[in-house]
């Protein structure tokens, strides 16, 4: 049984396979309380960035100011696997590190999208030309809870097939590559933290639904 075959994941239904995390206060602490926001202003904003500066007060009275928050929208990240067990990878220039980097299809949840899964489908198609009839939510994690409110929503696109043509934005140049899952998961192939987190969520998914059958 392959990771994408029809017998895959028979033990649990789709709703049970959701590793969606409950976002919120996991446990209370007598000492640790949320901060009160005394005032807030936008320091920098245009189409691409929004930096908010909050003046805050802790429960013990300590004033913390400014505290910068980067108001990003949510992101998605897609681990797309073909029926023969290859992962669909994208290689593009990443100006943050001024280097050409291989990673997973990913992008920003637009207001026009039907939700994170719609974004995942759109980004996978736009960046790679691949689509999937079996999009499995793997979970959502904070992108960087220290100073960003946004989540990364992770999806496994099972049985991904090349059904279209990449439709890149004007500012995108992307090479698509297929690499066996075993190689992606077991080697230092992906170099971005968010993408490596996706490998962990996928392995948890595979552990539960088909422990001995990862390709």
Burial of 136 per CB tally in 10 Å (0-12, 13-18, 19+): buried
| 42 counts as binding a second copy under rule CB under 8 A | no
User: 28 vs 133, which CB is nearer to a second copy?
Assistant: 28
H or E element at residue 207: helix 193-209
Asked if 147 and 113 count as a contact pair (C-beta separation under 8 A), the reply is: no
Degrees to nearest 5, angle at CA 31 with 30 and 35: 115
Nearest approach, Cβ of residue 17 and a second copy (Å): 13
Pick from 12, 38, 64, 167 the residue near a second copy by CB under 8 A: 64
Burial of 82 per CB tally in 10 Å (0-12, 13-18, 19+): buried
Asked if 95 and 76 count as a contact pair (C-beta separation under 8 A), the reply is: no
Nearest approach, Cβ of residue 98 and a second copy (Å): 6
| 143 counts as binding a second copy under rule CB under 8 A | yes
| 57 counts as binding a second copy under rule CB under 8 A | no
Pick from 99, 111, 211, 212 the residue near a second copy by CB under 8 A: 99
Tokens coding 47? 């189409």
Binding residues for a second copy, total number by CB under 8 A: 74
Nearest approach, Cβ of residue 30 and a second copy (Å): 9
| 95 counts as binding a second copy under rule CB under 8 A | yes
Nearest approach, Cβ of residue 131 and a second copy (Å): 23
């Amino acid at each position: 049984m392959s990771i994408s075959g029809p017998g895959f994941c028979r033990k649990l239904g789709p709703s049970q396979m959701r590793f969606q995390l409950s976002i919120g206060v996991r446990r209370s602490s007598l000492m640790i309380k949320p901060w009160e926001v005394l005032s807030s202003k936008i320091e920098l904003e245009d189409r691409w960035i929004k930096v908010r500066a909050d003046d805050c007060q802790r429960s013990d009275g300590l004033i913390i100011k400014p505290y910068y928050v980067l108001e990003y929208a949510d992101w998605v990240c897609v681990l797309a696997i073909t029926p023969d067990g290859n992962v669909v990878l994208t290689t593009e220039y990443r100006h943050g590190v001024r280097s050409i980097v291989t990673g997973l299809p990913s992008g920003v949840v637009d207001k026009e999208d039907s939700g994170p899964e719609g974004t995942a489908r759109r980004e996978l198609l736009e960046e790679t030309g691949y689509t999937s009839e079996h999009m499995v939510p793997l979970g959502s994690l904070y992108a960087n809870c220290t100073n960003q409110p946004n989540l990364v929503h992770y999806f496994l696109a099972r049985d991904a097939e090349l059904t279209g043509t990449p439709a890149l934005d004007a500012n995108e140049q992307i090479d698509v590559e297929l690499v066996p899952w075993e190689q992606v998961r077991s080697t230092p192939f992906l170099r971005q933290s968010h993408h490596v987190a996706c490998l962990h969520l996928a392995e948890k998914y595979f552990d539960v639904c088909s422990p001995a059958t990862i390709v």
